[in-house]
Amino acid sequence: MAKRRLKGGNVRVLDSLPMLIICIALVSALYFVCLARIASNNSMRYMIQIFLYITMAEMWNLLSGFTGMTSLGQQLYIGLAGYSVAVATTKLHLTLGLGLGIGVAISVVVALVMSLLLYRMEGMYFSVATWVVAEIFEKLFLNWKYVGQGSGMTIRIVPYPRIHEICVVALTVCVFAVATVYLLLRTKVGLGLTAMRDDIGAASAVGVNVFNHKLLVYAIAAAFTAIAAGIFLVNKGIVYPESGFSISWTVSLIFIVIVGGSGTVGGPIVGSVIYVFLQEYLARFPGWSNIILGTITILTILFLPKGIVGTLQEKLGFEIFSAKRFSYAKHR
């Protein structure tokens, strides 16, 4: 009994039926808004951005917040996916779905090849290596004639998907991403990942297969980042080396995860909403946007180190999408 209280018996998680119903209702409502085209094109544009940032930020969070692999190179998969979609649809006249599929496939293959290199490294070395590999690809695409070198490619799809169609696809990807992260963390694999983040040596000693776990997470992150980025760049309509492989993608993801709450599933969702609106609002103050984003990042780290969601969870003893599993439930 004492143990039960110690483990935070009042922490409620998504397992409970009401929470599940709320989630399903919320997602259905969002689908309805997209499909029935209640929302204006402008608000649909925000929604697309939010859904896709949630997807990419969940993946960065899975790497950094849950597994301790702080990647500075997620833009590698963003660029690869953007170019895959552009080449598949514009040059080869394939469908958008096929283009996205090719993007995901290429990203997973690259992630598997990278794994040979990256898993020899930890911490800072891993961060630098991921960034450098992304830079290598940027330089390769800058010199590659077929994909338009520095000026990049305009994405032409006939017929170009309507905005509410993109919105539905983005929402679907987002739901799958959150569900994947949540379910993954609640399996044995998830326990292994958290153990690795906290102490990699100890985790390995108690029988966590560190290499396999990292490979799995890294490949999942690559796949979801790729599909989200593919849709994002279709929505933009153009991809070029400096935009696709830019470190500023990872910069945004870091901001989202830190402000929302690193190591929580809900954090990237809250962070993405804040980020997209903040970015829109800050567009009115040209020049100030990064100064304000940077200041918010620093203040969050100093005063709310667990982010908004992490701090709220601590204060309210209430967790949505908790990755924790409690044994007390079985003893009831």
Partner 1 sequence: MYIAQILVNGILLGSVYALLGIGMTMIFGIVKLTNLAHGEFVVLGAYLSTVLAPLLGIDPILTLAITVPLMFILGFLLQYGLIGRAMKKGSEPALLVTFGLSIILQDGMLMIFSADARHIPVPYSKDTIKIGALEISVLHLVLFAISLIAILLLSLFLRNTYMGRAIRATADDADVAALSGVNINRVYAIAMGIAMASAAVAGLCVGMKWTYDPSVGGNYLLIAFVVVVIGGMGSVPGTLVAGILFGMAQVIGGASYGLLISYILLLLVLIFKPKGIFGK
Can you give the binding site for partner 1, defined by CB under 8 A?
64, 70, 117, 120-121, 124-125, 127-129, 131-133, 135-136, 139-140, 142-143, 247, 251, 254, 258, 262, 287-291, 293-295, 297-298, 301-302, 305
First to last CA, the chain: 11
b/e 210-247 (16+ beta carbons within 10 angstroms → b): beebbbbbbbbbbbbbbbbbbbbbbbeeebbbebbbbe
Nearer to partner 1 by Cβ, of 176 and 281: the residue is 281
Q: Closer to partner 1 at the Cβ: 116 or 206?
A: 116
Q: How far is the CB of 35 from partner 1 (least distance, A)?
A: 38
CB of 180 to partner 1, least distance (A): 24
Nearest approach, Cβ of 261 to partner 1 (angstroms)?
Answer: 13
Q: Are 92 and 153 in contact (CB under 8 A)?
A: no
Q: How far apart are CA 282 and CA 20, in angstroms?
A: 35
State the minimum distance, in angstroms, from the CB of residue 134 to partner 1.
Answer: 10
**Collapsing DSSP states into helix, strand and coil, what is residue 13?**
coil
Count the Cβ atoms, other than its own, within 10 Å of residue 126: 22
Q: What is the dihedral of CA 252, 253, 258, 263, to 10 degrees?
A: 180
- If phi > 0 it is left, if psi is from -120 to 50 it is alpha, else beta; for residue 187 that is beta
Nearer to partner 1, 16 or 290 (CB): 290
Q: Which is nearer to partner 1, 29 or 298 (CB)?
A: 298
3-class SS of residue 131: helix
Provide the minimum distance between the beta carbon of 325 and partner 1 in the complex, in angstroms, as a whole number.
25
Cβ proximity to partner 1: between 150 and 237 the closer is 150
- Residue with Cβ nearer partner 1 (35 or 128): 128
What secondary structure letter does DSSP report for 154? E
Q: Which is nearer to partner 1, 235 or 297 (CB)?
A: 297
Task: Write down the least CB distance from residue 259 to partner 1, Å.
Answer: 11
Which is nearer to partner 1, 70 or 180 (by Cβ)? 70
CB of 51 to partner 1, least distance (A): 25
Report the alpha-carbon distance of residue 174 to residue 151 in Å, rounded: 30
Least Å distance, CB 127 to partner 1, is: 7
Tokens 């338009």 sit at which residue?
Answer: 148
Classify the C-alpha dihedral 268-272-278-283 as positive or negative: positive
HSE of 80, CA atoms in CB hemisphere, 13 A:
27
What is d(CA 144, CA 177) in angstroms, rounded to the nearest whole number?
32
Task: Report in angstroms how near the CB of residue 201 gets to partner 1 at its nearest.
Answer: 17
Residue 57 tokens, joined? 């930020």
Cis peptide before 159 (omega within 30 of 0): yes
- CB-nearer residue toward partner 1: 89 or 262: 262
Question: Within the chain, what is the greatest distance between any pair of CA atoms?
Answer: 68
